[in-house]
Structure 1
């Protein structure tokens, strides 16, 4: 019986293993799901991804399943309520950035811009298979996407966060060479 070889980081916790095996690096083309992933990456800033995974369902509940229409309507009272929610990361700046991000997402949509098309076009419209070796924290492409998102008004979208987002959503395939998911995340 053979064992599956995974990226080493995925072997440290059962939740990380499940996330790795089912989601990480799988190309995501759904605009709303991409927006959710970007917002969660913003909440992760300064924390571990495992922390976010453990709180992801609470985030989804708190942010109306990351429905941009609902989140865009959040008021200061809603933000105050979320700041008391122990199930999520209680950062005023990150919560505010998510509400603002919903409004930006909807403004793009109202202007006829599809969020998925916007992101994937910058990436060349297909997943990038990185060469084996040390993974970068950021790349010229993550810097380009970061700058474009910042220009739109998004917050918590620095090049390092954007690169992690690119890995998570399959824009980049950074699975290790011996990982069973490498080149299979299509």
Structure 2
């Protein structure tokens, strides 16, 4: 069975690749989790984040934006002390700040994000995004709007990774079995 080359490095990545990466996420809370984990991944190896995912879920109230939006400086200090997570205070504060932005959106986080791709996963990005500039245009547009709406600790690279992970685009290699399953 052919997989994307990154999805065969170890069992954890294989499971993530086969079961989650690139599968469209419509649930707002799960989508916020994916977004938050991308923030923690910035500058790090994805395995580092996956190995700590359960601890992240515990300290961030299962990534429920409505609960996280009520976190205070006391909560930040408590989280920073947790040795089971990535203890980057700037990233911790960004996730909490972004939860506050999500809680104030006039729509669900899912609707907010999916509107950028007209509520339809981009199934064949290799055809639609025939060059890097097209993809870059999409991620820059999303990044600009999210920053305008108050989100922090984001950029085109992070947004691109988020779009891939949460299934907004099918970026599996064409030779990967998941590409064909998700292209339907």
Distance 1:32 1:144 in 2: 23
Structure 1 consecutive aligned stretches of length 4 or more whose deviation exceeds 4 Å: 132-138
Q: Tell me the equivalent position of 1:38.
A: 35
RMSD: 2.0
CA deviation string 1:113-158 (max 9, x = no partner): 1221221111122111211799959621111111111111111220
CA deviation string 1:148-184 (max 9, x = no partner): 1111111122010000000001101011111000032
Query: Could you list the runs of 5+ residues in structure 2 that have no partner in the other structure?
Result: none
Q: In the alignment, is residue 118 of structure 1 matched against residue 112 of structure 2?
A: yes
Q: In the alignment, is residue 62 of structure 1 matched against residue 59 of structure 2?
A: yes
Q: What SS is found at the alignment partner of 2:87?
A: coil
Q: Tell me the equivalent position of 1:49.
A: 46
In structure 2, relative to structure 1, the CA distance for the partners of 1:135 and 1:89 (3 Å cut) is farther
Distance 2:126 2:157 in 1: 18
In structure 2, relative to structure 1, the CA distance for the partners of 1:173 and 1:123 (3 Å cut) is same
Q: In the alignment, is residue 14 of structure 1 matched against residue 8 of structure 2?
A: no
Distance 1:122 1:16 in 2: 28
Q: In the alignment, is residue 154 of structure 1 matched against residue 151 of structure 2?
A: yes
Q: Tell me the equivalent position of 1:90.
A: 87
In structure 2, relative to structure 1, the CA distance for the partners of 1:71 and 1:134 (3 Å cut) is same
Count of residue pairs brought into register by the alignment? 180
Query: Could you list the runs of 5+ residues in structure 1 that have no partner in the other structure?
Result: none
Distance 1:103 1:27 in 2: 24
Higher helix share: 2
TM-score (norm 2): 0.91
Distance 1:24 1:96 in 2: 25
